[in-house]
Structure 1
Amino acid sequence: MKRGVQRWAVNIARWDPSEAQLLFCIFLLPPHERPPITKFLNVEDKKRAVVSRMLQYMLVHEVLGIPFKEITIGRTIEGKPYLCLVGVDVVSLEVPKKENAVEFIKHFSSYFATSEWNNIISSGTSIDILVEFHRYWCLKEAFTKAIGVGLGYSIGRLEFHHTNWNDIRVQVDGEDSDDCRFWLSELGKQNWVGQLHLQYLLKKVCVARCHPKRAVQSYKRTLWRVDFDEEEHNRALLLPNREFLLLQVEDLIPKHEKEAYESLRKKCSAAYVRSLLKVIRKLATL
C-alpha cells in the first residue's frame, strides 16, 4: 500500500455478523480494547465500537507493515487513540418525522454563531436546511475530536467560515485559528425510501487536523513532540484531500484469520459462544 493519506470507511449497517463472528472480531483486538466494547448493551453500539478499532489496527498494519498482533494503540483518559492529531466525524441526514426542518434544528440554535445560523436557515428548502445544519455540526464535532476533548467542550465557542464549503476556517472564542484545516466529504448517495416517512441517506464526513499545541493537556502528554515550525506544520495541512475508500468488515480481518471467521457464519456452537461470553464478561469487570 502507498504511504500518505489513507481514508477508510465501513458501513456497519450492512454487516450482520453471527454472535460468534462478533465475538471473534472482539478477540482479534488486544485485551485492553475489549472491555470498552463489551460494556455496550446495544448490538449496533458494539458493532460500531469494534469496527472503529479494527479500522485503526488494520490501517497501521497495512501502512506501516507491523504485524497485527504486535500493534499497540494507546488512548487518552477521554478514550481517544493518539496516533496523530486528527478528528473525524460522520453524520447521517434524516428527515424528521414529526417536525419540519426549522422546528427540528431550533433546539440546537445555541450551539451556532449568528452567521452560521443565518446561513443554515436561509439555505433554501427543508432538505437544504438540514444539509447545511449537518455540515456545520460535523465540523464542530470533528474539531473537538482533533484536539482530544470530551463532551464537556462547548461547541458554541466555534464559528466556521467558508467559501462554497472550500477554504474552511474556524474561529475559537472570536479568534482566527489558522493552524487547523478541515475537509468535508460525502459517503453514499442521495436516496429516498418510502412514501410517508422519507429518510435522507446521504452521510457527511468531516476530517479536522490541528496543530498539537491545540490539544488538551491530557492529550499533549501522549505526544512525543508538540513544537513544530510553521513550514513543518503547513506541509501536514497541505496533504491531498483523498476520497474515502469504502470497505467491508471482512477487509479488516487479517488474512490468516479470515477462514476461521467465515466458518463461524454457518456453524456456531452454542458452547463456543457461551465460553467466549464468559471470558468477555470477566474482562468487562476488570
Structure 2
Amino acid sequence: MERWVVDISEWDPTPQDLSFALSVLPPSQQSSVTRYVRLEDRKRALVSRLLQYALVHQVLAIPYDQIVINRTLEGKPYLECDEVCVDFPNFNFNVSHHGDYVAIASEPLCLVGVDIVSIVIPQDETVIEFLQSFSSYFSSFEWHNICTAGTNNDMLIEFYRYWCLKEAFVKAIGSGLAYDLDKVEFHHSCWANISVNIEGKATREWRFWLLDLGKNHLVSIARGHPRSASGSYMRTLRRSEFDEKEYHAALHLPNVGFVSRTVEQLIPVSHKAPVHHT
C-alpha cells in the first residue's frame, strides 16, 4: 500500500530536462506524453507515468525495462505481471492529476481509486450556473446538501468534495464515464466516516477518505471489493472472490498518508544524469 504525490508547480524543467525524464519511459508510453502541446499538460502526463513506473519498481522490485503497463478499453492503467505478483494477488494502482498535483495510490488486494480536484472558481459563468450543469450527477440528497451548504464558495467546495469521491469510486472499478454517478450516494460525518449507497443500497464493502492537499486541492481514496470491478478491468485481476474475514482484514487496513515526492526521486539510479558541456 503506497500513497505518493508530486507538486508539479515546483518543477520547472528545461526542454532537456523533459527529454531526459521522458527517456526513462518505454517508447509506447512516450507518445502518450508528447501528444500534449501545453507544457503543463505534458508535465502532468509525464509525472503520472513516472509515478507508475517508480512505484511498481519500488513495491515489486521489477527492473524498469521489464515493467509492462497497459490500459483497459476504458483507459484504466494496470500492470502486466505473472509470478512476481504472487504475494499481492490483486496489486493495482490508480493515478490522478489536477491543478498543481499528481498522485498515485496502490493496494495489494482491494480495488483502489484516487482523485484530485483543484477547487477553481468558474470564470465565464456564475457558481450557480456552473453547479447546475452537474446537477444530474448527484442524488437528490447530495444535491440538497450542496445547495444548502452556505455561500457560493461553500457550495463550490461541497460540490468538489462529492465530485472527488465519485470520481475515485468510478476510477477504482475501472468503468470510465459510463457509470451513473447519481446512483452513487455518499454519506459522512463532517467528511469523516464516509460511506456509500449504490443504487439505493448501503454497502459495507467500500471505504473512502477525503484529504486536504493544500493550495485549494482535495484528494480522495476509494478502497473496494474486487468483484465490483468492470468486466475489462476484472480480467486484469488474479482474484475476485475472498472469504469475508480475509477481505475485511484488507478493507480495514489503516489508510496511509501521502508521501511527497520530487520528479528527481522518480528517476531510477541506473538512469544516469546527462552531462551538460558548455
TM-score past 0.5 threshold: yes
Select the residue among 159, 164, 168 that pairs with 2:185. 159
Specify the alignment match of 1:87 in structure 2: 113
- The separation in 2 between residues aligned to 1:120 and 1:258, in whole angstroms, is 51
Task: Give the secondary structure class of the aligned counterpart of 1:178.
Answer: strand
Is residue 97 of structure 2 the alignment partner of residue 71 of structure 1? no
Specify the alignment match of 1:29 in structure 2: 25
Moved beyond 6 Å, runs of 4+:
none
Q: Is the 1:250–1:258 Cα contact (8 Å) retained in structure 2?
A: no
Task: Give the secondary structure class of the aligned counterpart of 1:146.
Answer: helix
Deviates more, 1:66-75 or 1:208-217: 66-75
Kindly report which structure 2 residues correspond to 1:20-59, keeping only aligned pairs within 5 A, or say none.
20-59=16-55
Select the residue among 227, 230, 237 that pairs with 1:223. 237
Is residue 257 of structure 2 the alignment partner of residue 235 of structure 1? no
Kindly report which structure 2 residues correspond to 1:1-286, keeping only aligned pairs within 5 A, or say none.
5-82=1-78, 83-84=91-92, 85-188=111-214, 201-257=215-271, 259-260=273-274, 263=275
* Bigger Rg, which one: 1
Between structures 1 and 2, the one with greater strand share: 2
TM-score between the two structures when normalised by the length of structure 1: 0.80
What amino acid is the match of 1:34? Q
| 1:99 Cα deviation from its structure 2 partner | 4.2
- The separation in 2 between residues aligned to 1:57 and 1:239, in whole angstroms, is 24
Task: Give the secondary structure class of the aligned counterpart of 1:9.
Answer: strand
Deviates more, 1:161-170 or 1:86-95: 161-170
Query: Identity over the aligned pairs, expressed in percent?
Result: 50
Task: Give the secondary structure class of the aligned counterpart of 1:242.
Answer: coil
- The separation in 1 between residues aligned to 2:233 and 2:47, in whole angstroms, is 23
Task: Give the secondary structure class of the aligned counterpart of 1:224.
Answer: coil
| Residues 229-279 of structure 1, C-alpha deviations (whole Å, 9 max, x = no match) | 21122122112122211221111111233522xx46x97xxxxxxxxxxxx
With over 3 angstroms needed to count, the CA separation of the structure-2 counterparts of 1:103 and 1:79, relative to structure 1, is closer
What amino acid is the match of 2:273? E
Task: Give the secondary structure class of the aligned counterpart of 1:56.
Answer: helix
Q: Is the 1:87–1:208 Cα contact (8 Å) retained in structure 2?
A: yes
What amino acid is the match of 1:157? K
Higher relative contact order (Cα pairs below 8 Å, separated by 6+ residues): 1
The alignment of Structure 1 onto Structure 2 pairs a total of residues equal to: 248
| 1:74 Cα deviation from its structure 2 partner | 3.2
| 1:96 Cα deviation from its structure 2 partner | 2.6
With over 3 angstroms needed to count, the CA separation of the structure-2 counterparts of 1:45 and 1:98, relative to structure 1, is closer
What amino acid is the match of 2:258? F
Structure 2: segments with no counterpart, 5+ residues? 79-90, 93-110
| 1:175 Cα deviation from its structure 2 partner | 1.9
Structure 1: segments with no counterpart, 5+ residues? 189-200, 268-286
Task: Give the secondary structure class of the aligned counterpart of 1:29.
Answer: coil
Two-structure CA RMSD over aligned residues (Å)? 1.9
What amino acid is the match of 1:102? I
TM-score between the two structures when normalised by the length of structure 2: 0.82
